[in-house]
Structure 1
Amino acid sequence: MSTVIEQPVEARLVAAAPRMPSIPATLHYDRSDPFAVRMTFPAPATLEGVEVCWTFARELLAAGLDDAEGHGDVRVRPYGYDRTVLEFHAPEGTAVIHVHSAEIRRFLRATSELVPAGLEHLQLDLDHDLAELMRDAC
């Protein structure tokens, strides 16, 4: 069984222009980092012309499907009956995107099949990680 899930999604950037085209994005989940998801935007879709990747809690993404969640750099909330808004806050500005909620739900189902919610801690080898930290500290 694979330990990584990648799912392309269609995101719509909310901006001053009346109809922004869809931009590609990829949701990514890796069992070795079980609490996190990543959302990556390819270089052509960003203002800087470089790939941008945001990492945030899988739990935040799931909770944001039903209620507004997040107080930091990443915020998630439902929008209407079939869309979810993700806000990415950085010193350079804020990006607001809409994604079909069904795509997010499909992604979260796949991650839950790989690592069920609430059992993420079983994927961690804390003794090994602590030993690595201590080795590097010497």
Structure 2
Amino acid sequence: MSAAPAPVEQTVQARLILGTHRSALLRVTLRYRCTDPLAVRMAFPAEYALDAAEPDPYDPNAPRDPHDPFDPVDAAGPAGPEIEWVFARQLLAAGLDLPAGEGDVRIRPAFGLRTMVELRSPEGVALLQFARNDLRRFLWRSHLAVPEGQELRHLDCDRALAQLLA
């Protein structure tokens, strides 16, 4: 029996669109688990949760823009709690080339080799902009772990059902 492929994890930079002329840079961790082969995960720092309060600009622990010449604080900061969104790997792949998604997660190509990811919840809508090549690289690595069309061979139906009923 061969060992299960290793999970895929990649940290990328995204731009959270806050308004017409406002945005914030944040690090997003993309994850793919071979034990959950149909899904991808996007993890964000908890301070960017839709139900979080507006960041205090005077808070020394608030997220910072690393490109702001007047703010010498490292934007990476300490690793803390995360908010994780889980959605279909196929949705991410489809959204790189054409608008995809009708529910809580919508993905579409944008100008300048960018990809927009829209996350909807009862608390509001978050719009994130990614470099398309970062997302393509992550998908390529996930397809090396579990090739497209082979997902059901890696799916543990009993475990998935137990998680669903838990």
Q: TM-score, normalised by structure 1?
A: 0.86
> How high is the sequence identity, in percent, across the aligned residues?
42
Task: Name the counterpart of 1:25.
Answer: 28
2: CA distance between counterparts of 1:82 and 1:19? 20
State the shift of 1:81 in Å: 3.7
Task: Give yes or no for contact 2:42–2:85 (8 Å, CA) kept in 1.
Answer: yes
2: CA distance between counterparts of 1:28 and 1:60? 15
Report SS of the residue matched to 2:37.
coil
Task: Name the counterpart of 2:147.
Answer: 116
The alignment yields a C-alpha RMSD, in angstroms, of: 2.3
State the Cα deviation string for residues 19-39 of structure 1 (Å, max 9, x = none).
423111110000000000000
User: Which residues of structure 2 form unaligned runs of 5+?
Assistant: 54-80
Q: TM-score, normalised by structure 2?
A: 0.73
State the Cα deviation string for residues 29-85 of structure 1 (Å, max 9, x = none).
000000000000012333527521100000000000000000000000000141000
State the shift of 1:2 in Å: 4.8
Structural mapping, 1:31-110, within 5 Å: 31-46=34-49, 48=52, 51-110=82-141
Q: Does 1:9 align with 2:15?
A: no
Which AA in structure 1 matches 2:136? R
Task: Give yes or no for contact 1:24–1:45 (8 Å, CA) kept in 2.
Answer: no
Task: Give yes or no for contact 1:75–1:88 (8 Å, CA) kept in 2.
Answer: yes
2: CA distance between counterparts of 1:88 and 1:21? 16
Aligned length: 133
Which AA in structure 2 matches 1:3? A
Task: Name the counterpart of 2:74.
Answer: none
Report SS of the residue matched to 2:23.
coil
Rg: which structure is higher?
A: 2
2: CA distance between counterparts of 1:22 and 1:129? 37
Task: Give yes or no for contact 2:5–2:146 (8 Å, CA) kept in 1.
Answer: no
State the shift of 1:3 in Å: 2.1
User: Which residues of structure 1 form unaligned runs of 5+?
Assistant: none
Question: Which structure carries more helix by proportion?
Answer: 1
